[in-house]
Amino acid sequence: MKLVIDHIRKAYDGRTVLKDCSYAFGGSGVAVLMGPNGCGKSTLLRICSLLERPDGGELHFKDNGLPLALDMQLRRRMTLVLPRTGVFKTSVFDNAAYGLKIRGFEKKLIAAKVNEVLSFVGLLHKVKQNARTLSSGETQRVGIARALAIDPEILFLDEPTASVDEENTGIIESLIGKMKRDGRTMVIMTTHDREQAERLADRLLVLEHGVLRETLR
Amino acid sequence: MDSLIQGFIKSVDLIFHLDPVLFGIIFLSLKVSGLALLIATTLGLPLGAVLGLKHFPGRDLAISVMNTLMGLPPVVVGLFVYLLLSRKGPLGFLGLLYSPTAMIVAQTILAAPIVTALCHSAIVNVDPIIRQAARTLGATSGQETLAVLREARYGILSAVIAAFGRVMAEVGAILIVGGNIAGYTRVMTTTIALETDKGNFELALALGIILLSISFIINAALHSVQQRGAAVPA
């Protein structure tokens, strides 16, 4: 799936956040959006993941060159992991299974998929634990597992390591590295950490003064 | 003091000998309050969810009204339902006055604002990030709402239990609209009032003990639910 954003604009209460953002995302790999706090990175991710509408400009999703309708079906082919993962007040298993349950998957398939993603993020041993009792780093990993369970074609990660310790930052970065090697998912993430961006990015983008531009590593 | 002790002993005897009159009264109390609670929850939970999740003009006023109605005086509700159902009232043709149905209506009016206001409070206290998380994972708006309700489940259950406690202990409204007819509309609270007036303390005390026991079970359940909710970080 390809995502093209075309002259996207967004303002809140008269304050322009995104002035003119255009870019074509495609293929697998990791695209990293950089920029200082409050520059509009999260807003751009929310618009790209169809959770928010832009004030102007257009989004185009294409599959094998064919345009896709911006509907619920398309929204379910991608997901966004928030900077502070809101885990449900239930077990790690139920959290990881949520996206599959609401899509009506069978129990057996859900169990297999949840085991797979929890192994991937290294939390299989905490499958029965209440997700609210995990550390912030583990919580973020549950958020990633929950997102990967639905096999998204595009995975948006909004500051995935902003609120986690160094150890979990390393784990999350290695998970992103694994996804990159798997080549099944297009990852579009934001960070304000230049070094992290350079470590992870296949494509590095900078959002400054509401304008998006690709930059050299 | 002697009559109190003797009354207490006789009341225990009535309970353990499964007195049919006593158990008929208990059954009717539970039936009337249970049905009133069911209707109040069916109305109050969705209304609480709408007040907690939707933003619309007049929402703040509606919340204030619900909070005010939580403290409705039962006798006022009784009077209102009486006027509604009395022969000359707008619903008098239904012939419901002095029937268990009229008592259910009155108790529903008392319980519904409690369920609504406390459910609203439980739902509005759910971290907004839960709704966002559900949405990011592809939830429809209905599934988002269910995710929030699931998060608020302990608070919602507390609301229902609190409302049940209120209607079980209520006497003023059901006395007015039920008429305290033996074997038909006589429930625990109205019987206690009547038998105390008559000086027949055995039955009054027996019912008092049972009412207190039910109240204890309700409060223990409420406490347990609240503890379970509090055991997990919000």
Q: Report the number of distinct structural domains present in chain B.
A: 1
Q: Report the number of distinct structural domains present in chain A.
A: 1
* A-interface mutation test, from B137, B141, B144, most A Cβ less than 10 A away: B137
Interface touch B151/A88, C-beta < 8 Å: yes
Q: Chain A residue closest to B148 (CA)?
A: A88
Q: Determine the distance in angstroms separating the CA of A109 from the nearest CA of chain B, rounded to an integer.
A: 17
pLDDT (tens, 9 = 90+) of chain B, 234 residues, equals 676 777 678 778 877 887 888 889 999 999 999 999 999 999 999 999 999 999 999 999 999 999 999 989 999 999 999 999 999 999 999 999 999 999 999 999 999 999 999 999 999 999 999 999 999 999 999 999 999 999 999 899 989 999 998 999 999 999 999 999 999 999 999 999 998 999 888 878 888 888 888 888 888 887 887 777 666 665
Give tens-digit pLDDT for A156-185.
Answer: 999 999 888 889 999 999 999 988 888 889
Is pTM beyond 0.95? Reply is no
Q: Give the three-class secondary structure for B93.
A: helix
Output the DSSP codes for A48-111: HTTSS--SEEEEEEEETTEE--SSHHHHTTEEEE-SS----SSBHHHHHHHHHHTTT--HHHHH
Q: Which amino acid is at A151?
A: D
CB contact at 8 A, B193 and B171: yes
Q: Determine the distance in angstroms separating the CA of B54 from the nearest CA of chain A, rounded to an integer.
A: 17
What is the ipTM score, two decimals? 0.91
Residues of B in contact with A132 (CB under 8 A): 232-234
Residues of A in contact with B129 (CB under 8 A): 82, 84, 86
Residue B157 has which token pair?
């259950």
Domain span holding position B204: 2-231
Nearest 5°: the CA angle B150, B153, B154 is 150
CB contact at 8 A, B49 and B123: yes
CATH number of the domain residue A61 falls in: 3.40.50.300
* The dihedral formed by the CA atoms of B154, B160, B164 and B166, expressed in degrees to the nearest 10: 90
CATH number of the domain residue B98 falls in: 1.10.3720.10
Q: Chain B residue closest to A77 (CA)?
A: B138
Place of tokens 């085991």: A115
pLDDT value at position B233? 61
Domain span holding position A93: 2-215
**What Rg value do the Cα atoms of chain A yield, rounded?**
17
Whole-angstrom distance, CA of residue B41 vs CA of residue B46: 8
Residues 6+ apart with CB under 8 A from B188: B25, B26, B29, B168, B207, B210, B211
